[in-house]
Structure formats: structure tokens, C-alpha cells
Amino acid sequence: SQQGEEDPQALSIQEGENATMNCSYKTSINNLQWYRQNSGRGLVHLILIRSNEREKHSGRLRVTLDTSKKSSSLLITASRAADTASYFCATAPFQGAQKLVFGQGTRLTINP
């Protein structure tokens, strides 16, 4: 079963605007990761946030984690056309790890 649930399923914004995607999960985690997938390609790792961290930055990306609410958000600032892709959260369960559980993704479209 999929643990991560992304919201919204699809998001369309104008270039230059900020994009926010949310992920909720069900069980305790070791970490939560965000991946990007361009159309027809494999997934690319963006950022990893550990369960004892609350916020992490990487370039124009900002990820927050609220373990009490079992949720995370990915913020992309000053969006560009090249950011058009699907974004997936993946959780590493605290117990019985060795694998990630992926959500269904958010399809982001940046309009020029």
C-alpha cells in the first residue's frame, strides 16, 4: 500500500510564481524524500529530510516536515518552465526499512 499521499494531484501556475505541494503519510518514518520525474524519464532525487529535522533548503527548494501531523511540503520558489514535471514524495519507514514507499505524485505545469 502507498504511504505517501500527495496533494494536489495536479498544479498549474505561471512562471515566476511559487509552487507548493504537500505529502501526508501514515506510519513513523526515518526520513522523507522528494523526487522529480520529467516526462518519460526516471526519477531524480531532490532532497532528503530526516525525522528529527523540521526544514531543509536546497537552492530554490524548501522542504518542511511535521512529524506530529505526519505531513511534509515542498516549496519551489520563482518557478521556471524547466520545473514542469511530476513530483513524488517517498517515505523510509522507521521499522522494516530497506525500501521506500512512494506516493502517487503531483503533476506540476509551469506556464510561460
Partner 1 sequence: NAGVTQTPKFRVLKTGQSMTLLCAQDMNHEYMYWYRQDPGMGLRLIHYSVGEGTTAKGEVPDGYNVSRLKKQNFLLGLESAAPSQTSVYFCATARGTGGWGEQFFGPGTRLTVL
Interface residue list for partner 1 (CB under 8 A): 1-2, 4, 30-31, 33, 35, 40-45, 48, 88, 90, 92, 97-105
Residues 6+ apart with CB under 8 A from 68: none
Min. distance of Cβ 16 from partner 1 in angstroms?
A: 28
Q: In terms of CB distance, is 20 or 102 closer to partner 1?
A: 102
The residue among 43, 47, 102, 111 whose CA lies nearest residue 75 is 47
Min. distance of Cβ 26 from partner 1 in angstroms?
A: 15
Q: In terms of CB distance, is 75 or 101 closer to partner 1?
A: 101
Min. distance of Cβ 97 from partner 1 in angstroms?
A: 5
Min. distance of Cβ 23 from partner 1 in angstroms?
A: 11
Cα–Cα distance, 40 to 25 (Å, whole number): 26
Q: Would you call 16 helix, strand, or coil by DSSP?
A: coil
The three grid cell numbers given for residue 27, joined into one nine-digit string: 506510519
Q: Please answer whether residues 87 and 6 qualify as being in contact, where contact means their C-beta atoms are separated by less than 8 angstroms.
A: yes
Q: In terms of CB distance, is 46 or 110 closer to partner 1?
A: 46
